[in-house]
Amino acid sequence: MAPNDLVSLEEMAAARERMSNAVHRTPLLSSRTAAQVLEASTGVRVAGGRVHFKAEHLQKTGSFKPRGMVSKVACLSDAERRRGIISFSAGNAAQGYAYAGAVLGVPVTVVMPEHAVPAKVAACLGYGAKVVLEGHVMGEVVAATERIREAENLVFCHPFDDRAVIAGYGSVALELLEDLPNADVVIVGVGGGGLISGVAGFVKQRQPEIRVFGVEPEGSDAMSRGLEAGRPVEIVPHSVADGLNAPFTGELSLAMTRRYVDGLFRVSEGTILAGVRFGFERMKQVLEPAGAAALGALLTGRIPVRDGETVCVILSGGNLDLSRIGEFLAAADPLPA
């Protein structure tokens, strides 16, 4: 894919304008304790003795997703809006489209796996979406989505591999650099690749010296496998981080990651849950596993941060399955005191 085919800064700025009234400008948090744990793990001392966090878990619906979904739905024609839209998701993108439909008056159907987090299903229903629970793995969910789309003549809206969606996600980085213009490192969790495509695409086109790293679960690494193969690869994802369980990455997100991301790191379930536990115990922030994967990777020394760098982690989601808190905390890898 040629550079001119990738999502531009201009597209990202336009997306911010069309969805700005429907989403929060999320705060930039920081933690001295996170910097101390990082130093204990790696010996690295970050700038100012603090790690910074873009708090997308405080976004509408509890994740970054509405930025992309409102951006996408706002681009549809009147005829497409009347037909209604359909998408698939493990949960957060479903909530994003349900919210976008509620805000913009568009009927929404979301297809989710049968084991989807009940709170995420309830949130979709609360926003007025029709929810179909079908399939045990995401490949089955995708197949069900296509069957329903054809039968009901709905407009398919992709959960991550779409120009308007990725442009909306770029607004995360736009705000981040407005609040932290001296950033040296940005760390992002990776599922299908929409968020890291938007974040890295904006960062590298605006301040190319900043390094952007992605974090994937070991059992849900569609992006890494796609980069290795040179094309999207279908997988059967399995991770406690359900929000990162994408069955594949797309052509556009793969191309943008290849061009703009400095490195991808696969991490264990224990590392991901260490991020959940640290957020809960030390930052007093409720993070779901997908939203804490980048944090866990940083604190356990998986990200190549250098002395004196200003580091920002994107906390991408906070829709934690409350019934599993004890399980998650018990399974977390220990961090240095």
Residues forming the active site = 65, 316
Gap between the Cα atoms of 327 and 122, Å rounded: 22
Contacts 24+ apart (CB under 8 A), 224-231: 224/264, 224/266, 226/254, 227/254, 227/257, 227/258, 227/264
- For strand 28-31 and strand 51-55, is the pairing parallel, antiparallel, or unpaired? antiparallel
Gap between the Cα atoms of 288 and 321, Å rounded: 7
151 CB-near residues (< 8 Å, 6+ apart): none
Integer CA distances (angstroms), 305 to 45, 262, 278, 313, in order: 9, 12, 19, 12
Contact call for residues 187 and 296 (beta carbons, < 8 A): no
Q: How far out from the chain centre does Cα 271 lie? A: 17
Q: State the DSSP string of 249-271.
A: --HHHHHHHHHH-SEEEEE-HHH
Tokens describing residue 2: 């040629």
Contact call for residues 275 and 293 (beta carbons, < 8 A): yes
Contact call for residues 276 and 289 (beta carbons, < 8 A): yes
Q: State the DSSP string of 114-166.
A: TT--HHHHHHHHHTT-EEEE--SSHHHHHHHHHHHHHHHTPEE--SSS-HHHH
Gap between the Cα atoms of 116 and 288, Å rounded: 13
Placement of tokens 């695409």 in the chain: 201
Other Cβ atoms less than 10 A from the Cβ of 336: the count is 13
